[in-house]
Amino acid sequence: MDQATLKYYAQNANVVAARYESIASKLSESFGIAFKANSRILDVGCGSGRDLVALSALGHDCYGMDGTAEFVTLSQQIHPELVGRIAHVALPDGAIPFGGNFDAVLCSAVLMHLPIEQLAPSAVFIRRSLKPGGRLLYSVPSKRSDVNETQRDEYGRLFLADSAERLQRVFEDVGFELINQWIEADSLGRGSVQWLSVLMELQ
């Protein structure tokens, strides 16, 4: 993960977690059709743990990882049912947590924070986390007008330009096949931000 982005989240974890917890993710509306029943799911970049709780309520066996240690602590404080289910691991170099062998991986608003050179190894990390036939659901901005010429927002977070098209090619190169993709409005109501959600399956 981009180090400046991780630094921002570490320094603002409480504020960001409270923001996440105050709304339901638009992506969560697709969980019911994206994942097969009773799946073992890894949420990569799980933040406050909000989506893990939503997935658990649907009957899935859920685990999370995050590159920000503060989120790992906060998520288990906010949601005690997640204690022991969140690991401090950052893409792409950490060890696959909880024994791998997952039926599905969720990456909500995470992959756009990866520098270009980390995209391919991160795709390999995700592939290695999954069983054959496992599913991947991710979302990245399809529109974001607050990013400057250095591909960073006012807080210094990296938002890789054209990450949507790059990512699909990267995942296809390591064995994933596109099932579906769709555009979603921003959960926080920001008109300057729009999201592309992508569902893929490991062949």
Amino acid at 165: E
> Which distant-in-sequence residues (6+ apart) come within 8 Å of 6 by Cβ?
67, 68, 90
Mean pLDDT over residues 23-47, rounded?
94
The DSSP code sequence of 136-182 is EEEEEEEEETT--TTSB-TT--B--TTHHHHHHHHHHHTTEEEEEEE
Is the torsion defined by CA of 174, 128, 157, 198 positive or negative?
Answer: positive
The predicted model scores a pTM of: 0.94
What is residue 48's three-state secondary structure?
Answer: coil
Which token pair is 99?
């024994």
Give residue 192's pLDDT: 66
User: What is the rounded distance in angstroms from the CA atom of residue 158 to the CA atom of residue 166?
Assistant: 15
| CATH fold of 3-202 | Rossmann fold (3.40.50)
Quote the radius of gyration of the chain (alpha carbons, Å).
15
Which token pair is 109?
């608003």
What is residue 134's three-state secondary structure?
Answer: strand
Map out the domains of the chain as residue ranges. 3-202
Give residue 164's pLDDT: 72
Give residue 135's pLDDT: 98
Which token pair is 142?
């399809």
Which token pair is 186?
């921003």
Answer whether the bond into residue 92 is a cis peptide, omega within 30°. Answer: yes
Is residue 85 within 8 A of residue 62, CB to CB? The reply is yes
DSSP 122: H
194 or 91, which is more confident: 91
**pLDDT confidence tier of residue 160, bands split at 50, 70 and 90:** confident
